[in-house]
Amino acid sequence: MSETRDLQGGKAFGLRKAQQEERINEINQQFLDDPKYSSDEDLPSKLEAFKKKYMEFDLNEDGGIDIMSLKRMMEKL
């Protein structure tokens, strides 16, 4: 049985999280550049806080919060 396994999951996970953060930063920049949101108080810090929480619970980096991630989030409340 020839099975290839990636034994460096920590490095791969870190790389995926960095890529996810970059994608979220690009989205956040669109909000910061949009004049529609220019009157929102403290928008940069709010977006940063939302990004951190989102990244904490989107563990599989699929762009959404699945039911197990939601369960974990509710347990932490």
Is the per-residue pLDDT at 5 higher than 80? no
The secondary structure of residue 59, as a DSSP letter, is T
Q: Please give the Cα distance from 11 to 19 (Å, whole number).
A: 12
> Domains of the chain by range and CATH?
9-76 (1.10.238.10)
Is the per-residue pLDDT at 6 higher than 80? no
Is the per-residue pLDDT at 60 higher than 90? no
pLDDT value of residue 7: 58
What pLDDT, in 10s, does the model give residues 10-58? 788 888 889 999 999 999 999 999 999 999 999 999 999 999 988 888 8
- Encoded tokens for 77: 């409340």
Choose among 66, 61, 70: nearest CA to 23. 61
pLDDT value of residue 11: 84
